[in-house]
Structure 1
């Protein structure tokens, strides 16, 4: 195990190094930047700022400087907000993590339950209804679902707030603050759950259909075990094994999948900050966020391999 971890960590460092250069080069070679796009600055001031931030240097020199600072924990200064990139991440990233964690929990919970029941009642009216709703959820754009729910629950029924994380001017503390955040999070979390529920439910359904046809499931039933125990103990445990590989994609999806949702619901997360920075071409912040997603991706793949080995000891790493 230790040899495997050392080898994988070495590969991860090489992958991140190559990814960092590729991402840096793509951003650097993109025409325009925050300084050149600012019409309020004179040409002399633009030239001065480009020299201050090192934008007039060759690409390789700029990358080596950025990498040296990044290894020390310094990802640069946001040109638009004039704050360190890590400081901005600390201000926004936990809001995104809260929203993504809640939606991921409900997505997997509902996907497992609905997928198991749909597989158990294959070709029934319930299974047909689930498949129709799955393809509908996968086909409708996220911004349409978000705006539609705002129209129904916020504008027409006045049940939920249309956006934000807290009520403007609120001084709530303790449980009152928790309830207020939960009330504002209901709509964006529901949209993110609906977006991820379709493909994951279909995945669990197909896995369960294959598993419940195996001989050991028939043997468990022949022994007189309750059907609930057969499905959720014996069958589901083996159907979850292929789904473990999806964990590697869940970590980056926690933050990368909420970009549009956070903008629609004005949720103060890292996704909304990224969208604003993208429009302003604030490349230091964009570079830091993209590298953060790259790190989560390689860490997620390693975590999925280790979890698969724990779930099935027969797997040889």
Structure 2
């Protein structure tokens, strides 16, 4: 295991180095930036700012300085927000994490239960309804579902707020603050769950159909075990093994934010900040966030490999 981890860490460092160079060059060589696009600045002030932030230096020299600062926990300074990039991450990323964590938990719970029951009752009316719902959830755009639920639940029925994280002007604290946040996050969580549960349910259903046809499942039934124990103890455990590989993609998704959902519901998350930075050409923030997602991706991939080995010791890590 130690030899494997050592090799993977070296491999990860090489990937991150290549990714950092590609990310920096992509943004650095893009025409224009926040300073040149700001019409309020005089040419003299623009030249002064470019000198202060080193934007008039060669690309490779700027990359070396950026990487040196990144190793010390400094991913740059957002010119548009007038704050360090890491400070902005700390302010916005946990809001996105809250939405993603709750919706991911609900998505996996619903997908596992519905997928198992649908596979057990293959070709029944329940399975047919599930498949119709799956394809409907996968085919309808997220912005349509979001706007439709806002129209019905927020505008017409007034059950839930249409957007935001808190009521405008709210000074709630403690439990009142928690209730207000939960009240506002209900709609975006419902939409994100509906969007994710379709493909994941189909994935679990397919895996379960393959597993319940295996000989050891028939043997377990022949021993007189309860059907619920056969399904959720013997079959589900092996059906979940291929899904462990998806864990590697869940980690960056938890912190990456949902660009469309956060925009529709005006949720103050990192995804919406990321989209605003594109329009403002705030490249330090864009580079820092993209590099952060790259780091989470390689870490998530490593975790999924290790978890797969833990779940199935027959898989050897080499």
- TM-score range for the pair, normalised by the shorter chain length: over 0.9
Question: Is 2:57 the partner of 1:57?
Answer: yes
What CA distance in whole angstroms lies between the structure 2 residues aligned with 1:32 and 1:144?
A: 34
Matches within 5 A, 1:233-244: 233-244=233-244
How many residue pairs get aligned? The number is 317
What CA distance in whole angstroms lies between the structure 1 residues aligned with 2:193 and 2:71?
A: 36
What CA distance in whole angstroms lies between the structure 1 residues aligned with 2:66 and 2:278?
A: 19
Alignment check: 8 A CA contact 1:155 1:162 kept: yes
Q: Render the CA deviation track for 1:25-52: whole Å, top value 9, x for unaligned.
A: 1111111111111111222222221121
Matches within 5 A, 1:110-125: 110-125=110-125
Question: Is 2:189 the partner of 1:189?
Answer: yes
**Residues 92, 257 of structure 1: CA spacing in aligned structure 2 closer, same or farther, 3 A cutoff?**
closer
My pick for the range that moved more, 17-26 or 161-170, is 161-170
- 1:60: how far off? 0.4
Alignment check: 8 A CA contact 1:188 1:265 kept: yes
Matches within 5 A, 1:76-225: 76-225=76-225
Alignment check: 8 A CA contact 2:163 2:267 kept: yes
Alignment check: 8 A CA contact 1:255 1:271 kept: no
- 1:138: how far off? 1.0
What CA distance in whole angstroms lies between the structure 1 residues aligned with 2:97 and 2:294?
A: 16
What CA distance in whole angstroms lies between the structure 2 residues aligned with 1:225 and 1:245?
A: 30
Task: Please provide the CA RMSD for this pair.
Answer: 1.0
Alignment check: 8 A CA contact 1:93 1:269 kept: yes
- 1:99: how far off? 0.8
- 1:171: how far off? 2.3
- 1:257: how far off? 5.1
Alignment check: 8 A CA contact 2:96 2:257 kept: no
What CA distance in whole angstroms lies between the structure 2 residues aligned with 1:264 and 1:315?
A: 43
What CA distance in whole angstroms lies between the structure 2 residues aligned with 1:156 and 1:224?
A: 53
Question: Is 2:315 the partner of 1:282?
Answer: no
What CA distance in whole angstroms lies between the structure 1 residues aligned with 2:192 and 2:15?
A: 30
Q: Render the CA deviation track for 1:126-149: whole Å, top value 9, x for unaligned.
A: 111111111111111111111111
What CA distance in whole angstroms lies between the structure 1 residues aligned with 2:120 and 2:305?
A: 29
What CA distance in whole angstroms lies between the structure 1 residues aligned with 2:254 and 2:94?
A: 11
Secondary structure of 1:111's counterpart equals helix
Q: Render the CA deviation track for 1:241-284: whole Å, top value 9, x for unaligned.
A: 00000000111122335111111111111111111111101000
Unaligned runs of 5+ in 1: none
**Residues 257, 140 of structure 1: CA spacing in aligned structure 2 closer, same or farther, 3 A cutoff?**
farther
What CA distance in whole angstroms lies between the structure 1 residues aligned with 2:69 and 2:48?
A: 22
Secondary structure of 1:147's counterpart equals helix
What CA distance in whole angstroms lies between the structure 2 residues aligned with 1:316 and 1:26?
A: 38
What CA distance in whole angstroms lies between the structure 2 residues aligned with 1:166 and 1:244?
A: 35
Matches within 5 A, 1:2-13: 2-13=2-13
Secondary structure of 1:168's counterpart equals coil
Match of 2:273 in 1: 273
Q: TM-score, normalised by structure 1?
A: 0.98
Alignment check: 8 A CA contact 2:164 2:265 kept: yes
Q: Render the CA deviation track for 1:206-250: whole Å, top value 9, x for unaligned.
A: 000000000111111111111111111110000000000000011
Q: TM-score, normalised by structure 2?
A: 0.98
